[in-house]
Chains A and B, each alone.
Chain A
């Protein structure tokens, strides 16, 4: 559990507590999407797509 993850979880919970017009706008900022690969000896290993477009709310890990 890094500080970033902790702050992100708090932010997600705060966004979930918002009322309607602000809620949808804030929910858009929750999405995480990127593609990454760790390299070993100058070669990329498997590509991992991190797709948490619904945010990390509710998942305490």
Chain B
């Protein structure tokens, strides 16, 4: 094919010396099909790379935008989170942190997000939930799970389906408020637990959000701990309403701890999403750089091949 092309090219060269372009153009009608087939094959690889470059650049733009949205959401959530700590901390000081409290009925409340693309926080919460259930497992111990968030539900329903008591979702759809946390807490109370464990990500800073387990006790467990010399024993609780007072305290404790946990997890989710989108943008840029190099190399190679064909045709004709 090359020899035939060179022949016709050569004949035209003889007629018009030194004018390469018209000769090449003149080549087209005679060997139109062959030429176009070769040209199409050359363009196909560059076209593919170009398409890929366009899509990778778009992805980079989207992830960059998502990162900025998450950063701004995190900033406003941080303020609310710090404020919510003021509700949960006094109860912690009053009742003490009791991670190794024992009880017959244990309820686990993993708090996860509804939306994805937020890094590994939901997986770590589910991992801690499973580990916690395993650690507390014993004879005559009952476990049940109240899952908050769609991501946790889809992960935990794979192997802990039988233990799930209820699921809650769309907590962040309108707004996370104390009233909402109180309503959900009343729902958790219907399980009549002895010990409730809330598993969530506590927000420390934009790069540090650690999984935490907050323990909330029922009034009976509180009594037991107080008798065993817990912090609550420092206070004199007089009167016939002792049981009712402890009941109210326990309910309020669950609601405030849950509210704090929801806010902290929300803030951690935004921070984690920011980090995930940042690494995603960086990867996209890196990929784009590599693709650009490949594209340029392919483009230059095709031009060089064309030149070689033309020149070798000309030399074949001359020699």
Contact = CB atoms under 8 A, between A and B. Distances in A.
Main SS of chain B's interface residues? helix
A44 B162 CA distance: 11
Interface residues of A, number: 28
A55 B171 contact: no
B195 interface: no
> 10 tightest CB-CB pairs across the interface, nearest first?
A3-B248, A4-B182, A42-B161, A33-B174, A35-B170, A3-B251, A38-B166, A36-B168, A39-B164, A32-B180
Interface size bracket, B side: 20 to 34
A23 interface: no
Given A3-B251, A3-B252, A31-B175, A42 B164 contact: yes
Contact of B174 (A39, A53, A56): A53
B179 A41 contact: no
A28 B180 CA distance: 12
A41 B157 CA distance: 12
Interface string A13-54: 000000000000000111111111111011010000110110
Main SS of chain A's interface residues? mixed
Interface stretch (B64-72, B125-133, B185-193, B264-272): B185-193
Nearest to A38: B166
Interface in B226-255: 247-248, 251-252, 255
Given A3-B252, A7-B252, A34 B171 contact: yes
Contacts of A61: none
B167 A33 contact: no
B170 A33 contact: yes
B169 A29 contact: no
B178 interface: yes
Contacts of B186: 2, 4-5
A41 B184 contact: no
B115 interface: no
Given A4-B185, A4-B251, A7-B252, A31 B167 contact: no
A4 to B, nearest CB: 4
B245 to A, nearest CB: 10
Interface in B175-215: 175, 177-180, 182-187, 189
Given A2-B251, A31-B175, A42-B161, A37 B182 contact: no
A3 B252 CA distance: 7
Given A2-B251, A4-B186, A30 B167 contact: no
